[in-house]
Amino acid sequence: MHLLNPFRMNDWDNKTFFRVFQAIQLVFVGVVCLGLVGYHIPIAREALAFLYLTFLPGMLVLKALRLHDLGTIETVLYSVGLSLAVLMLTGLAADIAYPLLGYAQPFSFAILFITVVAVVQVLLFLALTRDRRHAGASPKIDIPPSPAVPLLMLFPFIAIIGTYIRDDYHMVTLLFLLLVLIAIVGLAVGFDRLIPASCYPLAIYTIALSLLYHTSLISEYVWGYDIHHELHLANSVLIPGLWDMTLPYNTNGMLSVVALVPIYSLISDLDPVWVFKILYPLLFALVPLGLYRAVEKQTDAKIGFLSIFFFFSFFTFYTEMISLARQQIAELFLALTILVMIDKTMDRNRQAFFMVTFAFAMIVSHYGLSYIYFFSLVPAWLLLVIPERLHSWLPKRLTRSPGFLKPDLIAPSGTDGGVPIRTLVLPYILIFAALAYLWYSTVAEGTALATVTGIGDKIWSTLFTNSFDPATTQGMHILTSQSTTPLHGLAKVVHIATQGLIAVGLLATLLKRERWRIEPEYLAVSLVFLLINVAGIVVPFFASSLNTSRLYHITLIFLAPFAIIGGIALYEAVIGRIRAIRVAPFMGTAYQALSAFFVIFFLFNSGLLYQVVNDSPTSMALETTGDKPVFNGKEVQGARWIFSEGNERPIYVDGTRWWLLQGFDPDRQRYIPANASLVEPNTYLYFGTYNLVRDSVRLEAQAHAVTTAAYTDAGWFTRNQHKVYDNAGSAIYYR
């Protein structure tokens, strides 16, 4: 079956491109106008707005750059990245320019809709003008003739229906089925069954999206931690129609929250809650796809698939990242940066444009990821440059010695002593540093810059006295703490084994450059990321500034492929000595052994194994009881009531419900103290459903880099308190 490929519109001939583009635009504008006069077509506006905003601006930029024949995956990824960059810049420009012109609400629907359409028209003019000589044949889309295609496309729908049944009927059968099917796909790839290589990109995206949806869609409200503050900031833009860039919060300087969310919300007519829960996972699921393409181009399709299966199997991808919308967008730009970085065939000017654009977009999306990436660039650049400089400075008779210094120690063999083409260059690092400093020092009163400075001071003051101390190094605390059960202890061993595979894979890559032809830039940054991983275990307050699991997740963006390479190297070493192992189940080839291992890794991380044997379940989706930062409608209603009272009284709340109140006002709540007598008079006490049903509150204590929690009787805090609100799901007391 051959159809015109909609994912490569920039490759179409200009006449076809113009007609289809204008048809899409007219339909979109028409649907929006119908909605304004009262004729609502279900889902039409939301779907068309998402497609219009997410793909078309970037597709026009690609065409204006005269970039063609990139392939379907690269075209989709670059068009989405460029579209998001255009939207964030449009929101920033509107917020600055319109108040100067007398329009006090740049983030109102009318102004923003006209602005976005006008920007798209300018881009369309530039695209058709600059690319007017393009007359290539319009590419067709090839749908793989495999029965796996419809099955893979069903995965996100299983996740959607499964979360609906979970929320309304407390049944998780479909979510169980989804996780089992994902595990089967992982095994099928390792055993070369059912899933052909042509389906790997589709499998990567649909599995990633279904994993994200199986957690993001639980509850009708956002859940998690930081996302509540992100929701508050998005609403603080939508309600007045203006972004106040002076609010002194780190997150307030992130356009991925204060510009992108309001734009999607206003144009698509979606509540910001559903922008976070539906649209952002659609974007974040592109990260594994981009990483797959980057790994596949350097190795092969199977290594690419297994490495990304490892990447999104780690629980942070579909749990913690759900509540970090700004990091989701930043990771997409990092994945795009990697894809550009390893491409040695792209025109240098266009490559520089992409690198700088994605650098700026990453900086204005998430400060934490930007800092980590930036601080890895300098040592990675030195790893590339120093051997080359030494080779040119040392006498020729030394450099000609067998095995002595190569022009580039981490370059693949076959460079013949010549200077390799590098995409990681000093001007790029300097531009990144300048953009980061200018943005973080000026927006949100410089809080993002002050934060990293404070973390650096804390690390430096304790580096030589508290290294390896579990109280100050969160990673060491996790490694040395006692597991709750033997099964959880086995899971810890599996996690440690993956890091061992990564170390072996990096060593194998360095020793056999003629076989593992990883691009030098990618390898250099990966070596630094391995050191960052180690720093999370030994350097005080380093991992805790983000969270150890988040730090490991970030390093896997680069390091995941080396776990597969390490597994192959170990398998070949063992088979070379004990050939009989081949006849053991799941050990016929290295890929079979690795797929079995990482499926076990996935079953632990998803919580499926714990749920089946009822062993301290961990899954947010499968476990419907317990105290989790997942809030129901009555809890949200109670929070709205207390903030609608119009007074500024402090609100006492326990450690879990704290995050819910963050979404309304981050400055009024206080943690419930361990001693009930310390609760001040003339204050509110907020209880959620868990507090009422279990008659228990969660008390948290911070000891250096480690947070501990304990539960105590809620009755100690309600004595001498007057109940002023109760909706059977939340209650508010006044003293």
* Span 633-644, pLDDT tens digits: 999 999 999 998
Centre a 10 Å sphere on the Cβ of residue 336 and count the other Cβ atoms it contains: 28
pLDDT of residue 674: 87
Which segments of 217-271 does DSSP mark as H helices, in order?
226-238, 255-258, 260-268
Mean pLDDT of 300-312: 96
pLDDT of residue 414: 44
- Residue 302's nearest CA partner among 194, 197, 201 is 197
Mean pLDDT of 128-136: 85
Instruction: Please say if the pLDDT value at position 416 is more than 50.
Output: no
In this prediction, residue 417 has a pLDDT band, given cuts at 50, 70 and 90, of very low
pLDDT of residue 735: 81
- Residues of the chain with pLDDT > 90, as a percent, come to 68
Alpha-carbon span 553 to 556, nearest angstrom: 5
In this prediction, residue 413 has a pLDDT band, given cuts at 50, 70 and 90, of very low
Name the range with the highest mean pLDDT among 50-59, 145-154, 339-348, 422-431: 50-59
The helix or strand, by DSSP H or E, that contains position 140, with its residue range, turns out to be strand 140-142
In this prediction, residue 475 has a pLDDT band, given cuts at 50, 70 and 90, of low
Question: What is the residue whose two structure tokens read 């200009």?
Answer: 14
In this prediction, residue 47 has a pLDDT band, given cuts at 50, 70 and 90, of very high
In this prediction, residue 310 has a pLDDT band, given cuts at 50, 70 and 90, of very high
Mean pLDDT of 371-382: 94
pLDDT of residue 38: 86
Alpha-carbon span 687 to 718, nearest angstrom: 10
Alpha-carbon span 131 to 15, nearest angstrom: 12
pTM, two decimals, is 0.94
pLDDT of residue 299: 94
* Span 659-704, pLDDT tens digits: 999 999 888 889 999 888 888 889 999 999 999 999 999 998 776 6
Instruction: Please say if the pLDDT value at position 404 is more than 70.
Output: no
Contact between residue 219 and residue 632 where contact means Cβ atoms under 8 Å apart: yes
522-537 CB burial, b ≥16 within 10 A, e <16: bbbbbbbbbebbebbb
* Span 527-550, pLDDT tens digits: 999 999 888 887 776 666 677 889
In this prediction, residue 358 has a pLDDT band, given cuts at 50, 70 and 90, of very high
* Span 290-299, pLDDT tens digits: 999 999 999 9
Mean pLDDT of the chain: 89
Instruction: Please say if the pLDDT value at position 407 is more than 60.
Output: no
Least confident of 47-51, 155-159, 341-345: 341-345
pLDDT of residue 580: 75
In this prediction, residue 411 has a pLDDT band, given cuts at 50, 70 and 90, of low
